[in-house]
Structure 1
Amino acid sequence: MKAMKSTLLRTVLFSLTFTIICGVIYTALVTGIAQLLFPKQANGSIIEVGGKKYGCELLGQQYTDDAHLWGRIMKVDVGTFTAEDGTPLMYAAPSNLSPASEEYQALVRERIEKLRAANPDMDETAIPVDLVTCSGSGLDPHISPAAAEYQVPRLAKANQITEDEIRAMIRECTDGKWLGLFGEETVNVLEVNLRLDGIL
């Protein structure tokens, strides 16, 4: 009986000690280091201007009007979830459609038609593939420089500024290859659109 009590006490002390070390001290230490060294990333990489939050630079937002840069196809649902006051909440998720499925092919065809209609100046210019396909997450905030360039004439006309001004905005929102070697150059769609709106 005495040995059992001793074992039980050691077990409780062991569990309590590691709960404090791993659940409290370690968590506080990692959170503190993250806030000290990477405060923007630790707080969600939110784009905030003048105290107003416009979104996360790591999550795509859907734009479909002529005056804004379009991103990749997003699988968005605004009818499944609602807030406490009944307001619809936007929900997005990765697509599980196979590229060989008829539904996926129809989605791509529909997007091509929309892009052709919205960008008549591009005539029969090949549409960059990232403008007509979903990303793995369905929430990719970036497009390729080629996809951004495809939309330059439309953006210039809709915003009544020059194509060179649009290209300058796109360059400011373009991330290069990691260490100059790995990955591809990408354009952050939200950042470009905030510049077009005069916010950034």
Structure 2
Amino acid sequence: MNMQNHQLADSSLGGHLRASIGLTIIALGLCGFVYSAAAASLGQILFPEKASGSLIFEKNQLIGSRLVAQPFTHIQYFHPRPSASKYDPMSMAGSNMARTNPELHKVIDERLSKISEQEQIEKTKIPADLVTASGSGIDPEISVQSAMIQVKRVAHARHISEQAVEKLVQVHTVHPTFGILGQARVNVLELNLALDLAGR
């Protein structure tokens, strides 16, 4: 009787094990492969540019991505947000320093002093996004206010009118989604490319 019970238990255990393995394989196939392939294919069909990384090409040469900030530092270009990851998409991250961290205060104060001197404005008028890094470290956009305080410098460096530069800022301003989500912002790479094109 005991032997019979053991055989039944072993048979039942084997059945459960086979069912578990079978379910795992099916779930892995459907969720890990079929769903991923279908979602990627649908993205390529509906949003081909975004699904490919929102890449920007000029004369068949890759310039960059609309989703990734670049370290513009020359005076004739608009500057992006600071980056704790040195604008590297492979190590994107924030500084992870708390607001009470003395080192963070020191870094921000240094950035404020540099921007104040460079843009010829008071420190109190400098937007926070120009002196603090984003969580990703590769945020491609800045606030409209951050772009506007750079207009005078860029216009002077390029020997064009401030009005012409302001117009480009306005043209490349992205307004809040549905009018309420997020804030008005400017893609730095697109704006700088537009400046280069306008100067040709």
- TM-score, normalised to structure 1, is 0.82
Flag the 1:112–1:34 CA change in 2: closer, same or farther, 3 A.
same
The 8 Å contact of residues 93 and 135 in structure 2, kept in 1 or not, is answered as: no
Do residues 142 (structure 1) and 141 (structure 2) align?
yes
1:94–1:139 Cα contact (<8 Å) kept: no
Larger Rg: 2
Match of 2:45 among 27, 36, 40: 36
> Could you say what secondary structure the match of 1:55 adopts?
strand
Q: Is there any run of 5+ residues in structure 1 with no aligned partner, and where?
A: 82-88
Corresponding residue of 2:5: none
Give the aligned partner of residue 93 of structure 1: 93
| Aligned counterpart, 1:104 | 104
SS in 1 for 2:125: coil
The alignment partner of 1:198 has SS state of helix
Q: Give the secondary-structure state (helix, strand or coil) at the position aligned to 2:109.
A: helix
Letter in 2 for 1:140: D
Structure 1 residue 188 displacement after superposition: 0.9
User: Percent identity among equivalent residues?
Assistant: 32
Structure 2 residue 94 is matched with structure 1 residue 57: no
Asked if structure 2 preserves the Cα contact closer than 8 Å seen for 1:69 and 1:189, the reply is yes
Partner deviation per Cα, 1:19-55 (whole Å, 9 max, x = no partner): 3222222122111111111112211222223322222
Pairwise CA distance, 1:136: 2.5
- Is 1:48 the equivalent of 2:57? yes
Letter of the structure 1 residue corresponding to residue 194 of structure 2 = R
Matched with 2:4 is: none
Give 1:157-168 correspondences, 5 Å limit: 157-168=156-167
- For 1:137, give the aligned amino acid: S
Taking only aligned residues, the RMSD between alpha carbons, in angstroms, comes to 2.6
User: Which protein has the bigger strand share?
Assistant: 1
1:133-188 deviation line (CA, Å, top 9, x unaligned): 22232222111111111011100011111111111221222110110122210111
Describe the superposition over 1:70-99 as per-residue Cα deviations: whole angstroms up to 9, x where unpaired. 121211459xx9xxxxxxx98542011122
Q: Which amino acid aligns with 1:74?
A: S
Amino acid at match of 1:100: T
Q: TM-score, normalised by structure 2?
A: 0.82
Residues 105-124 of structure 1: pairs in structure 2 closer than 5 A: 105-120=105-120, 122=121
1:95–1:137 Cα contact (<8 Å) kept: no
Change (3 A) 1:4 1:187: same
State the number of aligned residues. Answer: 189
CA distance in 1 between counterparts of 2:91 and 2:38 reads 33
* Equivalent residue, structure 2, for 1:69: 78
Moved more, 158-167 or 89-98: 89-98
Instruction: Kindly report which structure 2 residues correspond to 1:183-194, keeping only aligned pairs within 5 A, or say none.
Output: 183-194=182-193
* Cα offset, 1:6, TM superposition: 4.3
Instruction: Note the C-alpha offset of 1:17.
Output: 2.5
Q: Which structure features the higher share of helix residues?
A: 2
Question: Residue 20 of structure 1: which of 24, 29, 33 is its match?
Answer: 29
